[in-house]
A and B are shown apart, each in its own frame.
Chain A
Amino acid sequence: MQFMTDRKRAEGLGSARSGTHHHWRMMVSSAALIVLVPLFIFTFGSALGRDHPGVLEFYARPFPAVVAALTLIVVALHCKAEAEEAIIDYVHGVRSKILLWVVAAAAYAMIAAGLFALVRMAL
């Protein structure tokens, strides 16, 4: 025992064992979204309120389409992680597991549906 360093004895004893990884993932997506969210809000806001041909023409342009696609992917994954954290904290047992499945399914389905819509409008 006396040959073990303090670090060696402390390693792996955190409550979740992967907390720093989760935290770092949130920080990376947060940094990306600080830039993407304002770009998306103002491009989407400019699209909303146009007539149907106007919207199709707007999202056929590369900048609004790429901003929307990037924001959709990063926001959905970021908010999925956000919801998962809350579920792990406040819901327990079978309900927790089912909610985690539902949130993951909803987030991935929204990414797929949104990207399909953007590609269809762009092409």
Chain B
Amino acid sequence: MADPKPINRPLSPFMIGPYYRPQMTSISSIMVRITGIATLGTVFLVVAWLLAAATSPRAFATVDWLMTGIVGDLVLTAATWAIWYHTLGRLRHLIWDLGYFVDVPAGERMGWGMFIGATILTIITVIAV
């Protein structure tokens, strides 16, 4: 029988910081999670804008002013980077899932590819739209 006495085991993420050195593999993976959760906020902004456009010209004017102003531009540019980064991160998961590039050096190269690729795609997006 297992000991019924409760044991206070450390709960995740106790490893990060004191015991675990930041590496390209871990940082690029943590960033996928952060950008994924941040994208829920981006979905809120997009839905608010669509709903305002469908509601009335006045509602649209307010939300559109917020989204296309200087603060809106900065937020949407950051949001665009997050979406591109997350998309590339998930592409890396798909590649791994198919059984390719599962060694550490390839994972690290793809991690750099995600940071650099997301930045280039964001610049292209800002210029193109």
- A residues at B contact (CB < 8 Å): 26-27, 30-31, 33-34, 37-38, 41-42, 44-46, 48-49, 52, 55-56, 59, 68, 72, 75-76, 78-80, 82-83, 85-86, 89-90, 92, 103, 106-107, 110, 113-114, 116-118, 120-121
Contacts known (A27-B97, A114-B51, A117-B51); A82 close to B36, Cβ less than 8 A? yes
Instruction: Say whether chain B's binding surface is mostly helix, strand, loop, or mixed.
Output: helix
29 pairs from A and B in contact (CB 8 Å cutoff): A26-B90, A27-B97, A30-B90, A30-B91, A30-B93, A31-B94, A34-B90, A42-B125, A44-B46, A46-B129, A48-B76, A52-B53, A55-B53, A55-B60, A59-B53, A72-B43, A82-B33, A83-B36, A90-B13, A103-B40, A110-B43, A110-B47, A113-B47, A114-B47, A114-B50, A117-B47, A117-B50, A117-B55, A121-B50
User: CB distance B68 to A48 under 8 Å?
Assistant: yes
Instruction: Say whether chain A's binding surface is mostly helix, strand, loop, or mixed.
Output: helix
Asked if B87 CB lies within 8 Å of chain A CBs, one says: yes
- B residues at A contact (CB < 8 Å): 11-13, 33, 36-37, 39-40, 43-44, 46-47, 49-51, 53-55, 57, 60-61, 64, 67-68, 76, 80, 83-84, 87, 90-91, 93-94, 97, 125, 128-129
Which A residues lie within 8 Å of B51 (CB)?
113-114, 116-117
Inter-chain CA distance A10–B11, complex, in Å, is 26
User: CB distance B50 to A27 under 8 Å?
Assistant: no
Contacts beyond the supplied A48-B68, A55-B60, A59-B53: 10 A-B pairs with Cβ under 8 Å: A27-B97, A37-B83, A48-B67, A59-B50, A72-B46, A82-B39, A106-B40, A106-B44, A114-B43, A120-B54
Which A residues lie within 8 Å of B36 (CB)?
78-79, 82-83
Closest to A53 in B: B57
Contacts known (A48-B68, A80-B40); A121 close to B53, Cβ less than 8 A? yes
Q: Which residue of B12, B49, B53, B94 has the most chain A CB atoms within 10 A of its CB atom?
A: B53
Partner of A79, one of B40, B49, B76, B91: B40
